[in-house]
Structure formats: C-alpha cells, structure tokens
Amino acid sequence: MITASFTLAGKHALVTGAGRGLGRGIAEALAAAGARVTVCARSQPELEDAARGIRDGGGLADILVADVTQVARFAEAVNGIDPIDIFVNNAGTNRPKPLSEVTEEDYDAVMGLNLRASLFAAKAVSQRMIKAGRRGSIINMSSQMGHVGARNRTLYCASKWAIEGFTKALAVELANDLIRVNTLCPTFIETPMVRPFLDDDAFKSSVLDKIKLGRIGQVQDIVGAAVFLASDASSLMTGSSLLVDGGWTAE
C-alpha cells in the first residue's frame, strides 16, 4: 500500500519570524511532525515563549535571536547552529497604501525585509545545507498577492512577485544539490499583523467577497501546507507555489 510520508523525525528546521503569528504556528506544526525546530526572530521574550510552548507539547525547540535584515550577522548565526534540513523563510512586513503615498522609507522597509533579507537568508541557509550535504527544503513565504494585484498593495505585491521569481530561479540553481525551493502563498490570515486591518468592517467585507470559501483564514489553515512542503510527501515538488487562499486567485 502506497502512503505519503509527512514525518519530520530527525530533521532540523529553522523558522524566521517565529515569535508569533504564522511563523510560530508553522514552527509548532513542524515540531509536532517530529522536527527539532530553531525559532528565530528579534524578540527574545517572544521566542522563549514560543519555544516553551513547543517543549510543553513534547517537541524539541531552540531559539536564535537574530535580525534577518543584518545579512552578515544572520549568515554568521546560521553557520553557528547545527546543519539545517528545513528552512521556513517567513519574516516579512506590509505597509498597505496607494502608490501615491508610498515613500522611499516604506519601500526600503518592505523590500528590505520581504525581498533583500529573504534572498540573503536563503543564500546563507542553502550554502549551509550544501556544505553539510543535506537534501533540504526551503519554503519562502509568499502570498496570494504574489499572483494577483490589489488596491493599496503595489509595494507588497512587488515584493511577493519578486519572491515568486526568485524562488523559481533558486529551485533551478539548487536542484543538483537536491535542495527543493517552493513558496507558500496564504490569503488573509488572522494574525497579529493582519488583525488590525480586519477590524475595519468595510475592509473585512471586501476580503470576504474575494475568498470563495467565505471566511478569513486561520493559522491552522496554513500549517499543514508547510508540513507538506517540508516533508518527503512533496519530494518531487520544487520551483512551485502552494496557494492556500480560499479560492481568491481562482477567479
């Protein structure tokens, strides 16, 4: 009987932006699937709380306090921990506004984290994987907005469309090293970053009009997709995008 293997036993996962929201939920799910997870973010208290939650649930967790925008320091930190099998490149931000109001500082903040830091984080981790001889899985956190456009999202869409192209190119580049690279593309998920926008009834209504399944996403809606991309269940998948968007991009 053919079955899919979703176990991550014996694997080491690194998750950035793991102090809260999607990053923390994904870290917990990877740990539940058997991985030892290193949670990474700038806030040590948030990381300690996340790691404690994983350990209390019977999982294995370490913390790495690091800022992915500090490229050289992050690369040094990656080289200082155990070899990595799974990398969830999750740290990101958004500043929604019309292009007429976008400033250079907005551009630097959004593109600096969503694209520049993500690109160099993937570089550091992939080089660590190659050096250690690991058949790894890199999951770049993208968005449905990496596949469509939307009002007030010119800057965010630019960053996520760039991540989609980067992911495809890196997948080709790392294929001979047996390192897979894919994107995970959620719709609007109720997280601390998104929740303030959803408090606007008009905005929430406009979002629900686009989500064909008729509800705002929850963190638990995304974590199974992350486990799939991290595991051997997706072993023939690279350079692809996994959209978990409630049907937003189907129309």
Give the pLDDT of the chain (251 residues) as one tens digit per residue. Answer: 998 999 999 999 999 999 999 999 999 999 999 999 999 999 999 999 999 999 999 999 999 999 999 999 999 999 999 999 999 999 999 999 999 999 999 999 999 999 999 999 999 999 999 999 999 999 999 999 999 999 999 999 999 999 999 999 999 999 999 999 999 999 999 988 888 889 999 999 999 999 999 999 999 999 999 999 999 999 999 999 999 999 999 99
**C-alpha span between 153 and 97 (Å, rounded):** 7
Task: Quote the tokens at residue 21.
Answer: 């929201």
Residue 197, pLDDT score: 86
**By C-alpha distance, which of 114, 110, 90, 96 is closest to 39?**
90
Residue 178, pLDDT score: 98
Asked whether residue 251 is assigned to any structural domain, the reply reads no
Residue 127 to residues 16, 135, 170: CA-CA distances in angstroms? 17, 12, 12
Kindly state the helix (H) or strand (E) to which residue 86 belongs, with its residue range: strand 86-89
Domain that holds residue 196: 12-237
Asked whether residue 66 is assigned to any structural domain, the reply reads yes
Residue 192, pLDDT score: 84
Residue 193, pLDDT score: 82
Residue 126, pLDDT score: 98
For 114, which DSSP code? I
Asked whether residue 197 is assigned to any structural domain, the reply reads yes
Asked whether residue 229 is assigned to any structural domain, the reply reads yes
**C-alpha span between 198 and 215 (Å, rounded):** 12
pTM of structure: 0.96
Angle at 82 between CA 80 and CA 88, to 5 degrees: 95
Q: Is 123 among the catalytic positions?
A: no
Which of 11, 107, 123, 160 is an active site residue?
Answer: 160
**C-alpha span between 38 and 25 (Å, rounded):** 13
Contacts of 72 (CB under 8 A, 6+ apart): none
What is the DSSP annotation of 173-187?
Answer: HHGGGT-EEEEEEE-
Beta strands in 122-179 (DSSP E): 137-141
Asked whether residue 139 is assigned to any structural domain, the reply reads yes
Which of 156, 168, 204, 212 is an active site residue?
Answer: 156
**By C-alpha distance, which of 22, 19, 12, 85 is closest to 223?**
22
Asked whether residue 34 is assigned to any structural domain, the reply reads yes
> What CATH number does residue 190 fall under?
3.40.50.720
Asked whether residue 174 is assigned to any structural domain, the reply reads yes
Instruction: Work out how many domains the chain is built from and give that number.
Output: 1
**C-alpha span between 18 and 61 (Å, rounded):** 11
Q: Is 107 among the catalytic positions?
A: no
Asked whether residue 246 is assigned to any structural domain, the reply reads no
**By C-alpha distance, which of 36, 119, 74 is closest to 28?**
36
Task: Quote the tokens at residue 106.
Answer: 């907005």
